[in-house]
Chain A
Amino acid sequence: MTRRKAAPYLLLLPHILLSALFIAGLAAGLSQSLGVIPALGLTEPTLDYYKEAFTRPDMLRSVLYSLRIALISALIATGAGVGICAWLTISRRAHDRLVGLVRLPIAVPHVVVALLTVLVCSQNGLLARLACLCGLIDEQSQFPALLYDRAGVGVILAYVWKETPFIVYFVLALMANVSESLGQAAVNLGARPWRAFCRVTLPLCRNTILSGFLIIFVFALGAYELPFLLGATTPKALPVLAYIEYIHPDMRHRPYAMALNGIVILISVVSAMAYYALMRRKVTALERGDGA
């Protein structure tokens, strides 16, 4: 009996150890963001570094730049991914070869996505050459600067290329399943395919779509490669700025890095809370009895 009770904990043991390491890393980062670095004789916790992060203009610009990139790219990728899923399920094309093609970018590392973006979107890349061929522009410099720009267009394009397939991967199996069973039932009862999709299949897939959105949003918020390789000199993305402060020879810069990381965590916690609130609303709707 006791062995039976211990079984789940024994199975979880490796995961508990790994989680402990994970928490240790997070805790170390957070305590440093509060200015506690015993090695430097700093032991008094303070919120000064956070205050400074929110008042120093370059840091504030970084926060807004990162938020913008993450939000826009996650919105576009989720919209496009769900659109592709909808098309594949309604037209019943969700077969192996097509799904394999859509999934291709998932296996492409972000640094390679950066290379592809340079080859296609830079001012002497494929798009600029096509524009020249069509007579839209004559000189390279007439092509809009999509890379290393303040608006982060190149970074956003790269994220959309990479994350749209992830949303398809994440949502398609469930959506195809729901559409086959309940969506088909709605069609049999006389609903048009699109109406059945919007009123039955899509609402039932909502939580999974939200999870996918949250995963790629937080990822884009804290990822280093793409803004580092394709982003502007100013403003810098939060993780890029944090890393610069982190490797600064003067160790007293480290709390700034950690405070910037703390802001990333703060934003992801707030988004996770919004996510759970949305999930709960779904549950109460079901309990009222107007759901499936």
Chain B
Amino acid sequence: MRRKSVLSGALLAAGAAVILLPMAVMVIWVFTERWAWPDLWPQRFSLRAVREVLHRSGQLAGVLSSSVGISLAVAALSVIVGLMTARAVAAYDFPGRGLAVFFTSLPLMVPVTVFAMGVQVTFIRLGLNNTIHGVILAHLLYSLPYAVYLITDGMRALGTALEEQARVLGATGRRAFFRVTLPLLTPVLLAAFSMAYIVSFSQYFLTLLLGGGQVKTFTMVMVPYLQGGERNIASVYSVVFLAVTFLLLILFGRLARRWMGHGGGDFYG
């Protein structure tokens, strides 16, 4: 028994190192001026890279707001459309239901590169090419499958008993949904929101091709530094944007937990 716990402790430490060590190295690179072979620790630190990024603070602020704005919009749309779609598929039996289910997961089977190169002609024709709206629409298509999956799963776990109870007690269908089911689904909706945000925030190729360099997001700005071998500046951008992402995700998680604390949590899961 003792040996077993030592073994699992070692496994745990190794796993944590694999996940955290690369991130730690990246944070060190933010402040690194000179880090020559073969030392394990940089010889000289400086704030040059941080200053260089801050010097163009207009650019940083612009990219930050457009990047986060696009992903928030995509996440909000994913939750709304995902909720409608999940509701239709979970609560109704209708001709074409199987087809609808098939289409919800189709984007997972078609890589973004294939879709983006195919759809560009259509985007140009619709006037969506090189616009923020077009980029949001394209991101939405790839965030939606995750949102639909999570929300459908949550609806199934919740069941229909409570909503039916509300109907029996005299609530209209709309009232029963908005006053009973929707509040109980809130934690699931926040999980879907987070996932959709992450998927949108990570996009590179869709934004590159359909944004055409006009739509600046974090990945668009960061990649040239990575290609140019400017590790410290690429690290500064990555750390700033990851910090913003994690802050937002923690915020969404807190909101979900607070909501569950107000009752409802007992019924869910």
Binding site for B on A (CB under 8 A): 5, 7-9, 11-15, 18-19, 21-22, 24-30, 32, 84, 87, 91, 98, 101-102, 104-112, 114-120, 124, 126, 128-130, 132-133, 140, 161, 214-215, 218-219, 221-225, 229, 239, 242-243, 246, 257-258, 261, 264-265, 268-269, 272
Expressed in whole angstroms, the Cα–Cα distance for A29 and B121 within the complex equals 9
Which of the residues B84, B94, B111, B121 comes within 8 Å of A222, measured between beta carbons? B111
- Return chain B residues, CB-CB under 8 Å to A18: 81, 137, 140-141, 144
**B107 interface residue (CB < 8 Å to A):** yes
Between A91, A112, A132, the greatest number of chain B beta carbons within 10 A of the residue's beta carbon is seen for A112
Expressed in whole angstroms, the Cα–Cα distance for A21 and B122 within the complex equals 8
State whether A111 touches B204 (Cβ < 8 A). yes
Interface residues on B, range: 35 or more
State whether A28 touches B141 (Cβ < 8 A). no
Which of the residues A91, A111, A258, A264 comes within 8 Å of B222, measured between beta carbons? A111
Please name the 6 residue pairs, one residue from A and one from B, whose CB atoms are nearest each other, closest first: A222-B111, A29-B118, A25-B119, A109-B202, A11-B88, A8-B92
Query: Chain B's nearest CB lies how many Å from the CB of A185?
Result: 20
State whether A24 touches B119 (Cβ < 8 A). yes
- Return chain A residues, CB-CB under 8 Å to B18: 161
Chain A binding surface SS class: helix
Which of the residues A11, A21, A140 comes within 8 Å of B137, measured between beta carbons? A21
- Return chain A residues, CB-CB under 8 Å to B21: 120, 126
Chain B binding surface SS class: helix
**B26 interface residue (CB < 8 Å to A):** yes
Closest to A109 in B: B202
Which of the residues A91, A108, A119, A272 comes within 8 Å of B109, measured between beta carbons? A272
**B61 interface residue (CB < 8 Å to A):** no
- Return chain B residues, CB-CB under 8 Å to A239: 111, 113-114, 205
Closest to A272 in B: B109
- Return chain B residues, CB-CB under 8 Å to A28: 118-119, 121-122
- Return chain A residues, CB-CB under 8 Å to B122: 21, 24-25, 28
